[in-house]
């Protein structure tokens, strides 16, 4: 193993037990968006003990924080998350549905691993800087509410990430690779209709139905879908259907829309057309439409220079070191999915990374090599608040195998595996690779200069937050 990889591996290994314990604690806390008090404290306590300066509460979000070590430039940021998802509580390692807390939240996206793995990377960078007197700053950003609240958008809007020369992050997944795809930009809007209530049989002519307005708006948007670009997506849910009584004309009703496109400018243009469907529905029904922007996320821009560095670092420090016990755990979850579905995941690896990987992972429960770097032209059909950060500073993102191949995202099966050695080994592999990448660029500022030039070229040096200034983080779910 090369010298730096060996050094970083030692630094991570020294605290390995502690990292696994903290990830288990956060896994048990399973706190929802903006309410991650205990999880954030577990991480700030860890980072403070390791000599980081902690500033808690950023952009008006109490559970957001930054922990810094060192001084001046270059300055490298590492992003961590720690929020859970509703209703996905599940006992660790159980492959049959058995919630730890019935009806409770669970780490169905593995953010217990994400936060601790990223903090472990920052600590290893600090250990290296202290030992070698390497100048610069390493900053760990505690980013709440990734699942529902997009805290990084508000942190970006508030200038928290300004001045960073490079940013690294990761996400638990089923394979080991660097994220080369763009994600979709997204805006979310609530359309609230106000009408007039009456007896639906007695004085129907006096009623103006807000529920009718919602239905007509949805019909309009259904027709709009035929006339938008292929990569765009529009989804909706009812926030308020106006009540349960058919004999009352509903005077209030509301819809919640997600509008996605490859670029934020396209998402905002499409939003204008969806807004018009709401206005048209209001006109047709004699109601009024209140249009309330909730959130907005830029597309993720992978920085090719930093992604290349992270790829080499991942190859140098290696994939997760799974053993037979881990493979047994993973297999017990994988067998719950239809074999054809699992095989389609393996085929997708082949299409993206090379056909030689198909026989290598057919019938295997865990992925244990580092895939080559790819920058596919098709976007990732989802959105992330890392997108905004990638517009502010050059950003690279790593995926580490923490679950059986075939495991669905946001599932109790994923929550169950994230509380076991399988998830923890992925977490430690991510920590090693990110620390190695961060040290590599701190030692070679020319790479950061190159990454910065690329960033300037791809963004034009412009970051526009899609959330209007008067919209505050929705800490109490108040929309
Ligand atoms: Zn996630």
CA of 384 to the centre of ligand 1 (A): 8
pLDDT of the chain along its 479 residues, tens only? 799 999 999 999 999 999 999 999 999 999 999 999 999 999 999 999 999 999 999 999 999 999 999 999 999 999 999 999 999 999 999 999 999 999 999 999 999 999 999 999 999 999 999 999 999 999 999 999 998 899 999 999 999 999 999 999 999 999 999 999 999 999 999 999 999 999 999 999 999 999 999 999 999 999 999 999 999 999 999 999 999 999 999 999 999 999 999 999 999 999 999 999 999 999 999 999 999 999 999 999 999 999 999 999 999 999 999 999 999 999 999 999 999 999 999 999 999 999 999 999 999 999 999 999 999 999 999 999 999 999 999 999 999 999 999 999 999 999 999 999 999 999 999 999 999 999 999 999 999 999 999 999 999 999 999 999 999 999 988 77
**238 beta partners:** 255
Rounded to the nearest whole angstrom, what is the distance from the C-alpha of residue 26 to the centroid of ligand 1?
Answer: 14
The single residue listed with the structure tokens 């936060």 is 115
Q: Is residue 427 part of a domain?
A: yes
146-164 pLDDT, tens digit each: 988 999 999 999 999 999 9
SS3 content of the chain, % helix, strand, coil (to 5): 45, 20, 35
**Torsion-angle region of 150 (φ positive above 0: left; ψ -120 to 50: alpha; else: beta):** left
CA–centroid distance, residue 276 to ligand 1 (Å) = 33
Separation of 203 CA from ligand 1 center, angstroms? Answer: 50
Residue 125's domain is classified under what CATH number? 3.40.630.10
Beta strands 61-71; 53-58: pairing state:
antiparallel
- Residue 110 C-alpha to ligand 1 middle, in angstroms? 6
Cα 194 to ligand 1 centroid, rounded to whole Å: 36
Cα of 228 vs centre of ligand 1, distance in Å, is 28
- Do 399 and 410 reside in the same domain of the chain? yes
Ligand 1: centre distance to CA 146 (Å): 7
Tell me how far the alpha carbon of residue 204 lies from the centroid of ligand 1, in angstroms. 48
- Domain of 242, CATH number, reads 3.30.70.360
Centre of ligand 1 from the C-alpha of residue 144, in Å: 11
Say what the pTM is.
0.95
Which stretches of 50-208 are assigned E, i.e. beta strand?
53-58, 61-71, 75-80, 136-142, 166-173, 177-178, 185-194
Contacts of 168 (CB under 8 A, 6+ apart): 76, 77, 78, 79, 121, 306, 310, 395, 396, 397, 398, 434, 437, 438
What is the CA(84)–ligand 1 centre distance, in A?
A: 9
Indicate whether 332 and 254 sit together in one domain.
Answer: no
Q: What angle do CA 41, 47, 49 make, to 5 degrees?
A: 100
Q: Are residues 376 and 394 in the same domain?
A: yes
Do 320 and 452 lie in one domain? The reply is: yes
Domain count, the chain: 2
Residues 15 and 133 in one domain: yes
Let me know whether 201 and 169 are in one domain.
no
**In a shared domain, residues 430 and 376:** yes
């Amino acid at each position: 193993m090369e010298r730096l990889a060996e050094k970083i591996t030692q630094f991570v290994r020294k605290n390995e037990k502690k990292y696994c314990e903290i990830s288990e604690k956060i896994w048990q806390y399973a706190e929802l968006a903006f309410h991650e008090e205990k999880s954030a404290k577990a991480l700030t306590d860890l980072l403070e003990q390791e000599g980081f300066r902690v500033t808690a509460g950023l952009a008006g979000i109490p559970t957001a924080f930054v922990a810094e070590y060192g001084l001046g430039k270059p300055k490298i940021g590492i992003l961590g998350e720690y929020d859970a998802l509703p209703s996905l509580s599940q006992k660790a390692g159980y492959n049959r549905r058995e919630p730890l807390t019935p009806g409770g939240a669970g780490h169905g996206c593995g953010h217990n691993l994400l936060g601790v793995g990223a903090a472990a990377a920052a600590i290893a960078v600090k250990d290296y800087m202290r030992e070698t007197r390497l100048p610069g700053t390493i900053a760990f950003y505690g980013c709440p509410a990734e699942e529902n609240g997009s805290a990084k958008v508000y942190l970006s809007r508030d200038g928290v990430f300004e001045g960073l020369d490079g940013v690294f992050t990761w996400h638990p997944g089923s394979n080991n690779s660097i994220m080369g795809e763009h994600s979709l930009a997204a805006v979310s809007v609530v359309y609230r209709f106000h009408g007039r209530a009456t007896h639906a049989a007695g004085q129907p002519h006096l009623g103006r139905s807000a529920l009718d307005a919602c239905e007509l708006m949805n019909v309009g948007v259904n027709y709009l879908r035929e006339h938008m670009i292929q990569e765009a997506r529009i989804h909706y849910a009812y926030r308020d259907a106006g009540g349960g009584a058919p004999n009352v004309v509903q005077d209030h009703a509301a819809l919640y829309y997600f509008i996605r496109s490859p670029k934020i400018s396209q998402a905002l243009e499409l939003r204008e057309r969806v807004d018009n469907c709401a206005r048209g529905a209001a006109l047709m029904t004699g109601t009024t439409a209140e249009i309330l922007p909730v959130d907005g996320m830029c597309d993720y821009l992978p920085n090719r220079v930093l992604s290349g560095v992270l790829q080499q670092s991942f190859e140098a420090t290696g994939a997760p070191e799974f053993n037979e016990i881990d493979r047994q755990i993973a297999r017990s979850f994988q067998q719950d999915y239809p074999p054809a579905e699992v095989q389609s995941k393996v085929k997708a690896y082949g299409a993206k990374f090379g056909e030689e990987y198909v026989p290598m992972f057919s019938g295997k429960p865990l992925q244990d090599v580092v895939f080559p770097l790819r920058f596919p032209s098709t976007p990732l059909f989802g959105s992330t608040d890392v997108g905004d950060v990638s517009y502010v500073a050059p950003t690279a993102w790593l995926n580490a195998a923490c679950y059986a191949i075939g495991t669905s995202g946001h599932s109790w099966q994923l929550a169950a595996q994230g509380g076991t050695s399988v998830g923890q080994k992925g977490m430690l592999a991510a920590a090693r690779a990110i620390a190695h990448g961060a040290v590599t660029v701190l030692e070679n500022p020319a790479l950061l200069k190159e990454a910065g030039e690329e960033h300037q070229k791809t963004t034009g040096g412009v970051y526009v937050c899609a959330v209007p200034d008067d919209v505050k983080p929705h800490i109490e779910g108040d929309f």
